[in-house]
């Protein structure tokens, strides 16, 4: 029987990735479509993609598929032919990364989930067949110039912080499921106005657009392919970018630069900076913004407390972080900057892990 999961250590896989003599292409794609048996679909995907040396994260559910992968350049055509040969995916758009060194993933993980985007929607009448109208880059720019148009950012705070569209309203919440009702509240009274929603690759704003229509809004649009596809289109068509700054991405790169504007600041010293990193203390791993000077001063840590911990003997570090849920800090959505790290490391465990989109 074929092995349908990885059995090699992460360190070894990273080493192999760095030694590869060929280029890789980072691609993201998703599609809402019915999958009767997600586990069977997942296993067939793994058997097809593993021989092509595809790395990345793929989530499969009854409502569809969501993927961020890295494909060897010489296998790209075979990969594309396979994906486009699947039922419902013949016209699937593959979003190729804008700013890419090909080192985004080093292992293939395909997981079955309840939904490809956790939404908290319990109304059985809701479905994804009725959704907002797609808009391309040129149409997005035109809508942004209309003072009567409301633009809603359906991404997380740490994404909005480093880059967003002009006039975009942030929906600051810890989860997408909380953002949906908050977006309804933010748009109350604008049921007949133009509403444009966007996200990183399109998957969240597509579901959000369907949710808005389900709740009585009439003129709902969503950016086709999200910020990733928009960035390609403005380059190809020579359009002005209405998106300012950097587009956060959920892989090892943590960002694609769209414009030269730096609109965020180092969380430690306040200097203009939009470089995300995870705290080097394994008992923390907080995702935060850190400039080069603070990176050198704190050795990649988010606080002096974490630096002190990092300098302790390894066994003592393991003792301190035993039982701590650090998942809440990776891709943390809170607007709170650097928290009192020492109390957290020695105190209560955290809340639920945040979602990846």
Coil, strand or helix at 212: helix
Check pLDDT > 90 for residue 247: no
Q: Is 301 exposed, middle or buried (0-12, 13-18, 19+ CB in 10 A)?
A: buried
pLDDT of residue 345: 36
Q: Beta strand 150-153 with 194-198: parallel, antiparallel or unpaired? A: parallel
Check pLDDT > 80 for residue 254: no
H/E run at residue 62: none
pLDDT of residue 336: 44
d(CA 133, CA 309): 51
Band the pLDDT of 214: cuts 50, 70, 90: very high
d(CA 168, CA 244): 11
pLDDT of residue 335: 44
Band the pLDDT of 1: cuts 50, 70, 90: very low
DSSP conformation letters of 305-351: HHHHHHTS-HHHHHHHHTT---TTTTT---S--S--HHHHHHS----
Check pLDDT > 80 for residue 269: yes
Residues annotated as catalytic are 199
**Contacts (Cβ under 8 Å, ≥6 apart) of 129:** none
**Contacts (Cβ under 8 Å, ≥6 apart) of 274:** 161, 162, 163, 245, 246, 255, 262, 263, 264, 289
* CA distances to 224, 261, 286, 325 from 203, in Å: 9, 26, 25, 28
Compute the average pLDDT of residues 58-75. Answer: 93
| Structural contact between residues 165 and 153, judged by C-beta atoms closer than 8 angstroms | yes
Which residue spans within 126-266 are E strands per DSSP? 133-135, 150-153, 163-165, 169-170, 194-198, 219-223, 243-247, 256-257
pTM: 0.73
Band the pLDDT of 218: cuts 50, 70, 90: very high
pLDDT of residue 74: 95
pLDDT of residue 282: 82
d(CA 111, CA 42): 7
| Structural contact between residues 52 and 75, judged by C-beta atoms closer than 8 angstroms | yes
d(CA 190, CA 353): 33
Band the pLDDT of 346: cuts 50, 70, 90: very low
Given strand 219-223, what is the order of strands in its sheet?
133-135, 219-223, 194-198, 150-153, 169-170
The per-type count for the chain, helices as H runs and strands as E runs, is 12, 15
Mean pLDDT, all residues of the chain: 84
pLDDT of residue 2: 54
pLDDT of residue 252: 63
Q: What is the pLDDT of residues 192-204, one digit of tens each?
A: 999 999 998 889 9
Check pLDDT > 50 for residue 327: no
| Structural contact between residues 306 and 281, judged by C-beta atoms closer than 8 angstroms | yes
H/E run at residue 262: none
DSSP conformation letters of 117-164: S------TT--TTS-PEEE-HHHHHHHHT-TT-EEEE-S-HHHHHHEE
pLDDT of residue 338: 40
Check pLDDT > 70 for residue 314: yes
Q: What is the pLDDT of residues 71-128, one digit of tens each?
A: 999 999 999 999 999 999 998 988 887 656 667 788 899 999 999 988 889 888 988 8
d(CA 104, CA 100): 8
d(CA 216, CA 341): 44
| Structural contact between residues 115 and 61, judged by C-beta atoms closer than 8 angstroms | yes
d(CA 160, CA 6): 34
| Structural contact between residues 154 and 198, judged by C-beta atoms closer than 8 angstroms | yes
All domains of the chain in start order, with CATH: 10-112 (3.30.70.100), 133-237 (3.40.250.10), 276-346 (no CATH)
* CA distances to 20, 112, 167, 251 from 46, in Å: 21, 12, 42, 20
Q: What is the pLDDT of residues 156-203, one digit of tens each?
A: 888 899 999 999 999 988 788 899 999 999 999 999 999 999 998 889
């Amino acid at each position: 029987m074929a092995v349908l999961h990885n059995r090699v250590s992460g360190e070894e896989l990273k080493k192999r990735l760095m030694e590869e003599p060929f280029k890789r292409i980072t691609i993201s794609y998703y599609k809402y479509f019915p999958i009767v048996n997600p586990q069977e679909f997942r296993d067939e995907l793994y058997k097809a993609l593993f021989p092509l040396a595809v790395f990345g994260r793929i989530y499969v559910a009854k409502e569809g598929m969501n993927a961020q992968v890295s494909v060897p350049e010489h296998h790209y055509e075979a990969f594309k032919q396979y994906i486009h040969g699947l039922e419902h995916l013949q016209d699937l758009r593959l979003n190729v990364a804008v700013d890419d060194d090909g080192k985004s993933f080093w292992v293939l993980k395909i997981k079955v989930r309840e939904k490809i985007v956790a939404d908290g929607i319990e109304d059985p009448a809701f479905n994804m067949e009725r959704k907002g109208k797609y808009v391309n880059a040129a149409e997005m720019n035109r809508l942004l110039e209309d003072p009567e148009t409301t633009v809603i950012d359906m991404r997380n705070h740490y994404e909005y912080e480093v880059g967003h569209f002009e006039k975009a309203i942030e929906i600051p919440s810890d989860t997408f499921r909380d953002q949906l009702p908050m977006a309804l509240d933010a748009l109350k009274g604008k049921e007949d106005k133009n509403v444009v929603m966007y996200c990183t690759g399109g998957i969240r704003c597509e579901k959000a657009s369907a949710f808005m229509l389900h709740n009585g809004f009439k003129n709902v649009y969503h950016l086709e392919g999200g910020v990733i596809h928009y960035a390609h289109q403005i380059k190809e068509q020579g359009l002005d970018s209405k998106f300012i700054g950097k587009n956060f991405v959920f892989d090892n790169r943590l960002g694609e630069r769209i414009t030269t504007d730096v609109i965020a600041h180092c969380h430690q010293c306040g200097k203009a900076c939009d470089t995300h990193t995870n705290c080097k203390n394994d008992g923390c791993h907080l995702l935060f913004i850190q400039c080069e000077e603070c990176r050198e001063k704190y050795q990649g840590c988010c606080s002096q407390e974490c630096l002190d911990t990092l300098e302790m003997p390894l066994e003592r570090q393991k003792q301190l972080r035993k039982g701590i849920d650090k998942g809440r800090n990776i891709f943390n959505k809170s607007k709170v900057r650097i928290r009192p790290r020492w109390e957290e490391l020695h105190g209560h465990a955290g809340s639920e892990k945040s979602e990846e989109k």
